[in-house]
Amino acid sequence: MTITVDRLSKWFGHKVAVSDLTCEFTPGVTGVLGPNGAGKTTLLRCMVGLLRPSEGSVSLLGVDPHRDPSVLGDVAFVPEHEAVYDAMTARQFVTFNARLLGVRSADAVEHALETVDLTAAADRRLAGFSKGMRQRAKVASALVHDPKVLVLDEPLNGADPVQRARLIELFIGLGRNGRTVLVSSHVLHEVERMAARVVAMIDGRLAAMGSVVELRNLMTDVPRAIRVESDQPRALAAAMMATPHVQSVSLHGEAVIADVLDLAGFARAVPMLAARQGATVTRLRPQDESLESVFRYLVGR
């Protein structure tokens, strides 16, 4: 395991930000999700040693970052705040971070700037940068030492759609290359695009952890929405309602959306129902295996 969080709790006065959270992170991209105040930022800050756990522990590459900060040489952290050293240029900012990480190579700095598409603006002061450009400068400074672990708190904030897409591709690539990448974000479809696994937090607690499909499969008490496209949707909908596998149906043009209680039974029944009705099923796909639907369920329950 690259990062191990063991029974972590963190409170500030009477406010509990993270409560008894245990999870592990392996190479690849993991999305950290949760509504505002869920404790995502506190969790990430504990991981990189910015906050001390009130209880429990965090281990980074087998080491407690508080006891041995040298482990931070293999870690990169992009903080949520857009604060940077305004008087520095992007190149100076990345160079400054590189020096603190023991990287002396100017090529590494140039490569990091190039990776986030900031070469042309490298000699402009950060004070004049847009929020998205600042984010990219922060990401460049995080990449300059080729870290094993990247902890990124809302790294896509303020980035324009093109840059978002580039950064997402970058994070996916880092994950594929064996880096452990943790990304917190509010934008669910972007997390879904880049993260193989998600950790969902609600009120400081771990609400769920796993792939989106795994999480959806765990939600056995919620009917699954299956979209069935057919040339005779009305007849098919009526036939479906007669089976014990379906709780309700609704018609959407050529499609029937069935709230299915027993997915396996439903899958077996649909071909027979279609044959009996003389209907042709052209497409059948789950409607709610998106991260958004899973997340909406987790937050709402």
| Interactions with another protein, residue window 48-107 (CB under 8 A) | 48-52, 66, 69-73, 75, 77, 79, 81, 83-85, 87, 96-97, 99-102
> Judged by CB under 8 A, which stretch of 25-33, 41-49, 199-207, 227-235 contacts another protein?
41-49
CA-based torsion, 286, 289, 295, 299: positive or negative: positive
Distance (Å, whole) CA 237 – CA 288: 19
Residue nearer to another protein on the CB measure, 144 or 202: 144
Q: What are phi and psi of 283, to 5 degrees?
A: -160, 145
- Least CB distance from residue 191 to another protein, whole Å? 23
- Least CB distance from residue 46 to another protein, whole Å? 10
Residue nearer to another protein on the CB measure, 38 or 257: 38
Angle at CA of residue 235, ends 230 and 241, nearest 5°: 105
Q: Is position 42 an interface residue for another protein (rule: CB under 8 A)?
A: yes
- Least CB distance from residue 171 to another protein, whole Å? 18
Rg (CA), the chain: 23
Q: Indicate the pairing of strand 149-153 with strand 180-184.
A: parallel
| Interactions with another protein, residue window 230-269 (CB under 8 A) | none
- Least CB distance from residue 117 to another protein, whole Å? 21
- Provide the terminal-to-terminal Cα distance of the chain, rounded to the nearest Å: 31
Q: Which two tokens stand for residue 215?
A: 């999480």
Residue nearer to another protein on the CB measure, 138 or 224: 138
The H-or-E segment that residue 24 falls in is strand 15-25
Half-sphere exposure of 57 (CA within 13 A, CB side): 10
Residue nearer to another protein on the CB measure, 14 or 242: 14
Produce one character per residue of 202-223: b if its CB has 16 or more CB atoms within 10 Å, e if not.
bebebbbbbebeebbeebeeeb
The residue count for binding another protein (CB under 8 A) is 31
Asked if 166 contacts 172 with a C-beta cutoff of 8 angstroms, the reply is no
| Interactions with another protein, residue window 128-167 (CB under 8 A) | 141
Residue nearer to another protein on the CB measure, 100 or 162: 100
Residue nearer to another protein on the CB measure, 101 or 270: 101
Residue nearer to another protein on the CB measure, 83 or 213: 83
Distance (Å, whole) CA 101 – CA 145: 7
Residue nearer to another protein on the CB measure, 180 or 243: 180
Asked if 176 contacts 195 with a C-beta cutoff of 8 angstroms, the reply is no
Nearest to 108 by CA among 99, 275, 117: 99
| Interactions with another protein, residue window 14-33 (CB under 8 A) | 15, 17
- Least CB distance from residue 18 to another protein, whole Å? 10
Binding residues for another protein (CB under 8 A): 12, 15, 17, 42, 45, 48-52, 66, 69-73, 75, 77, 79, 81, 83-85, 87, 96-97, 99-102, 141
